[in-house]
Structure 1
Amino acid sequence: MQTLSGVHIAAWLERAADVMEREKAFLTELDAAIGDSDHGVNMARGFTAVRTRLGGLDHGDVGALLKGVGMILLSTVGGASGPLYGTLFREAGQRAAGAAALDLAALTGCLEAGLDGVKRRGKASLGDKTLVDALVPAVDALKAALSAPAHAGAPAHAGAPAHASLVDALARAAEAANAGALATVPLVARKGRASYLGERSAGHQDPGATSCSLLLRSLAATAGA
């Protein structure tokens, strides 16, 4: 697979809905330690709503599809996560406007645009103990894959892609996001509800970074299926 069409995006969102429902209790457990104990419920509700309404979205225009998903998440995911995930998808959709499919370069641009939107909306940076801590390393991994040879150590062949495959790149991005989520454990939160705890927020994994990691893992699994 070298591109993601609207059909692939829809399959990703279906898978993400299953994952958020399955991991709902885990995300809520993480949020109970440093938040409002509702992140798992909110994420499961939001992606269930996305799955329910996918049929009414335009699968032929990836940008329109992503923006539609963003609007659904904005209206159904409670707490701070609704605006952040809504912004992530809407900004990604804006970058993909009119596209029938996304190759690795286009997908990287979309996620980078989404990341920039999340940073603006949440006024968060890397190290603040938010979903940005998972999203930044994922985007960085995709950028690195763009400049990596298709087969490390092997000579390039005529007609071969100049960069790693989309499947491999997404697998690396998912791994990076997971590592980023785990790296939030020792951090002291500087944004969101967890920041009210000050030093007591250290020692706990951030639920937003974790749900972001789950979302990217779902995308990688869909691409590799």
Structure 2
Amino acid sequence: MDTALARAWVQAIAAAMDTHQDRLTRLDSAIGDADHGANMHRGFAAVAAALPQYEVATPGAVLVRTGSLLISVVGGASGPLYGSAFRALGTALDAGDDTADGPASTGGTARVAGALAAGLAGVRRLGAATEGDKTMIDAYAPALVAFRVSAEAGAGLAQAAAAAADAAEQGMRATTSMQARKGRASYLGARSIGHQDPGATSTALIFRALADTAAAAKDAR
């Protein structure tokens, strides 16, 4: 992952949040505050508008700045959770050692896997949630597993990201049958069953944006 790809990924996320804002709002209206779509759209729109104004030398710096902006702009729990994920991801991406599939300036697939793991760890620390709690982790955790498996098998970024996006979407759909154990949705108890989690849905959109961006970059080479 180089700086241009990191910027393109963030722009693709912003476009996805714009396209799916109403969908995320409908999902959140069933089990939350009905503000997830608006929050994610506002946050990533602010990031997309601000990033071109910053001179950043590394892909990690792009993602750290993204996380900081999300924390400052997005309300509720989403800002701190997604912001912490991107800040941890970016910090780990720039701090990683050289890998067999890419130099330090671009970052190889194995290092991106490590950075994604750092992002998930940040979410876990802040949200104290785990798989099965009906949260964004139910999309993020399987996506990370799929990405790592692909990276360990020697896949490039585009292939690993596509596998991660597929796994994230499968995890997203699986939240429908879960009872929420964290966040506002947990107050509903058994009534939260039958509704897809909005956080898992936006997380799946983020991974699909990475897959699409990586595939476009690969095709352009």
Q: Work out the CA distance in 1 between the residues paired with 2:51 and 2:152.
A: 34
Q: Work out the CA distance in 1 between the residues paired with 2:197 and 2:130.
A: 14
Alignment check: 8 A CA contact 1:57 1:68 kept: no
Read off the aligned partner of 1:131 and give its amino acid letter: M
Alignment check: 8 A CA contact 2:4 2:59 kept: no
- Match in the other structure for 1:120: 125
Alignment check: 8 A CA contact 1:50 1:73 kept: yes
1:206 partnered with 2:197? yes
> Alignment partner for residue 164 of structure 1, among 155, 158, 176?
155
What secondary structure is seen at the aligned counterpart in 2 of 1:101? coil
Read off the aligned partner of 1:93 and give its amino acid letter: G
**CA offsets 1:37-84 (integer angstroms, 9 cap, x no match):** 000000000000000011133432222221111000011111111100
Moved over 6 A (4+): none
- Match in the other structure for 1:157: none
1:95 partnered with 2:100? no
Alignment check: 8 A CA contact 2:168 2:203 kept: yes
Alignment check: 8 A CA contact 2:110 2:152 kept: no
Alignment check: 8 A CA contact 2:186 2:192 kept: yes
Q: Work out the CA distance in 2 between the residues paired with 1:96 and 1:164.
A: 18
Read off the aligned partner of 2:165 and give its amino acid letter: A
Alignment check: 8 A CA contact 1:67 1:91 kept: yes
- Match in the other structure for 2:100: none
Runs (5+) with no aligned partner, structure 2: 96-103, 217-221
Residues paired across the two proteins, number: 208
Percent identity (aligned)? 50
- Match in the other structure for 1:216: 207
- Match in the other structure for 1:20: 17
- Match in the other structure for 1:62: 59
Runs (5+) with no aligned partner, structure 1: 149-162
Alignment check: 8 A CA contact 2:30 2:195 kept: yes
Q: Work out the CA distance in 1 between the residues paired with 2:56 and 2:12.
A: 16
> Alignment partner for residue 78 of structure 2, among 72, 81, 97?
81
Shift of residue 166 of structure 1? 1.4
Q: Work out the CA distance in 1 between the residues paired with 2:128 and 2:9.
A: 28
- Match in the other structure for 1:139: 144
1:185 partnered with 2:176? yes
Say which structure is richer in helix: 2
**CA offsets 1:72-126 (integer angstroms, 9 cap, x no match):** 0011111111100011001111212365322111110111000001001000001
Read off the aligned partner of 1:41 and give its amino acid letter: A
- TM-score, normalised to structure 2, is 0.91
